[in-house]
A and B are shown apart, each in its own frame.
Chain A
Amino acid sequence: MRYVWPSDQGDELLDYLVITASAAHGATLAMALSPKVMCWSESQWLIDLRPTSHYWTAQASRRGVKVGSLLQMVLAEAAAQSGDSCAGLLAESMIFAPCPWQALLLSAHLKERGLSGPLELREPFSQALLRQLSWGVWFGAAKEYAAALAKSKLYGFNEERLRKDLNNLERAVLRLGQKHPAQMADASSLAFRRRFGEHIARLWQWTFDGVAKDVKAGKNQQRSLGFAEEEVFASAFPWINVVISERPQVVRHLEYPVWSWEQLVAALTNDLDRLADIPALALGAAVVRLEWILHLEDLSDCPVTIAFRHPHSLKTERGEQKTALSQACHSFESVYLRRRQDLLLATPVPLIGWSLVVAESLARAPTTTDLFGEVGFLRAGELTEERIDNQLHVALERYQVTTDWVAEAAFIADLAGSAVAPLAKPWSALAARRPLYLYPVPRLLNAREEPLQAEFIERTGEVWWQRPEGALLERNYFLIQSRFGQRSWATKGEAGEWWVHGLFA
């Protein structure tokens, strides 16, 4: 039976995916979805979907399918091509979760109970499954975590100590007669830290809370290029990227030293074309990040990152390489030319050569085509927003509205550009009386800016459960007009002071 992705859920892709695939083909399959892949156990593969999540969401939105279904299709096709004998079971092993630890726990739990996926942790069914998790599964996964930490050679990590802490916890659980971790869900991670050490406390926190709120809040910022450097779990989760043994690269030795962009652009275009011709990329792999290591005349190296918001196929722009050159120019200016300012040099140290290395790429199967072109990648010459977004130095923003009465929560960033649902009348009427521009934090008007006129517009209930005790329970909004005729949306504080929250058109 084909699994139907729940339609009432938001179509935002969760950050991590676990699949079960053979050791021989797992990496290739996983890399069809994201360049960040980790081999957790012999048959379990962890995929960090963050570098490509907005890309897949946009593709799914364009095709009118759920993003989970699209990933399932891409994986199935890649599996069929790789000749993996477990291809049929691949979809059933897919577990999406906001944190890798939760994905691993659910995967092990499904295996224990003989159930099959795909599952998304935001579904009530998956959350119920997580609550039914046994201590046996939890300890099994924790031991794997300890082994992975030891393998990652984390500085200061003592494997023996962690195993001892795990044994202590096991004894405590036995003594308390607990069968499921959910029975102790109220216990704080601080209490665990005190009794069983830092690592177990962290695992405990991940089990039910997933990733911390501040990490989630920063998710929308990932579209600014260069996010790949930052690892949410860098300090704690033993993430070890699968590294392709031979990363495609080209090397350039210049005939004479150069230091300006105009002098090197022709050679760089040529090198990008050469890179596109390397067999590993010529088959259609799309680049997510290039490392451009500049070799300077003083024999030092200056690494420059060329990153793309959407996986980019170098092959489709052969001869021009507009997208890669646009991002390369921006990075060159901000790294190489700024280096000169930082080192207080009169002229920059000239370049004598460079290496261009594919740091991250999506392995695409060569025949993943559908009626309208390719399943995953942009067609040559197609003037799409993704292509332009890839060439710009700032990310394009899109929004969709939500049904929330609080102005600052009534919209969210929409990476896929899929805002289709028009607002129902009451919400639309409310929005029509509000300003076009908002301050994220209201601005206090000083005495000199005292308004000439004030007209009451609306009373909005405050999210009192998120505010400190004693804070106002409601906001009274007024349309105020300054002496220059500027109309603002303002609320009155307890002392009668005006706080401007927005500006009208």
Chain B
Amino acid sequence: MSALDLHTLCSTFGVRRGDQASLGSGFKLRSGLTALDDFFGGGLAFGVVTEWGVPLGCGGRHIVLKFLAAANRGSGVRADYPILWAYPDSPLGLNPPAWQALGIDLRYIAFARTNVPMHDLKAALLDPHYRLVIFDMPLGLSRDDYGFLARQARAQQKIIFILHNQLLSDARGNAFAKLRLNCGRSRIAPAHLIVTPVRGLASQPLTLQLEGLL
């Protein structure tokens, strides 16, 4: 039996690979890009809420998509980490071919269009199925909502990404997010992305070539 067959068989029956076995706290999602993974101390930790300042059209979402693309790379018939992407009910829709071109496997990502994600998607947050949950430009999340998200992320060992359409500042903090950072294109070198930690990482800002993320 080839390695591929074995992997497919394992995925079918929900058997995880050795490196995925320890899904408790401390397990991390790697992007596959050494510089990025090193910046996050070996990857993004499961069980936490991460808050991202990624203004639309400034390239910051490429970092998040890099992690999502790596999450199910090599998955068999069943996703290793099913993804739920919630986006606002606005005139702006999605262009799935571009997502696929960036490495996202469309079989393993479900989208939900809602302006009240905490109300409409509560069942998905309470359930361990979707391991990676992304709230893209959520409207009006309250402190209680963040508290609920932090509890669910820890209880279900999810990574919850909150993507804001504006840059974050330490003047308006959020104790429930373990990691807060800003991502965007460099003004001096537009072919580069700068990831600036606001909270949760001691490291200096990271500069990445945009080409390397595509």
Contacts and interface: CB of A to CB of B under 8 A. Distances in A.
Leading 8 A-B pairs by shortest Cβ distance: A486-B57, A391-B123, A431-B97, A505-B61, A399-B96, A432-B101, A431-B101, A396-B110
B123 A322 contact: yes
Interface string A373-402: 000000000011100100111111111110
A485 interface: yes
Contacts of A383: 127-129
Given A392-B121, A393-B119, A397-B111, A419 B98 contact: no
B59 A487 contact: yes
A172 interface: no
A487 B184 CA distance: 11
Contacts of B62: 505
A76 interface: no
Interface of A: 322, 326, 383-385, 388, 391-401, 407, 410-411, 414, 417-420, 422-423, 427-432, 434-441, 443, 482, 484-488, 502-505
Interface of B: 55-62, 65, 82, 84, 91-102, 106-107, 109-114, 119-121, 123-124, 127-130, 184-185, 187, 214
The winner among B82, B107, B123, B184 for most chain A CB atoms within 10 A is B123
A392 B214 contact: no
Q: B interface, by DSSP: helix, strand, loop or mixed?
A: mixed
B60 A385 contact: no
A397 B102 contact: no
Contact of A398 (B55, B106, B113, B119): B106
B111 A398 contact: yes
Contacts of A428: 100-101
Contact of B97 (A394, A410, A414): A410
A393 to B, nearest CB: 4
B59 A504 contact: yes
Given A417-B107, A437-B56, A503 B187 contact: no
Given A391-B123, A394-B114, A423-B101, A503 B94 contact: no
21 contacts: A383-B127, A388-B124, A394-B121, A398-B109, A398-B111, A400-B106, A410-B95, A417-B107, A417-B110, A427-B97, A430-B97, A431-B100, A434-B95, A434-B97, A436-B65, A436-B94, A437-B56, A437-B92, A484-B55, A486-B57, A504-B57
A504 B100 CA distance: 14
B213 to A, nearest CB: 9
Contact of A397 (B65, B99, B112): B112
Contacts of A419: 106-107
Contacts of B214: 432
Nearest to A327: B123
A322 B65 CA distance: 32
A309 B44 CA distance: 34
B99 A436 contact: yes
A437 B59 contact: no
A388 B127 contact: yes
Nearest to A390: B123
Contact of A436 (B55, B95, B106, B127): B95
A441 to B, nearest CB: 8
Contacts of B58: 485-487
Contacts of B127: 383, 388, 391
Contacts of B61: 436, 505
A486 B61 CA distance: 13
Contacts of B114: 393-394
Contact of B123 (A392, A398, A443): A392
Contacts of A384: 129
Given A417-B107, A423-B97, A431-B97, A485 B185 contact: yes
Nearest to A400: B106
Given A322-B123, A428-B100, A487-B57, A440 B91 contact: yes
A152 B109 CA distance: 45
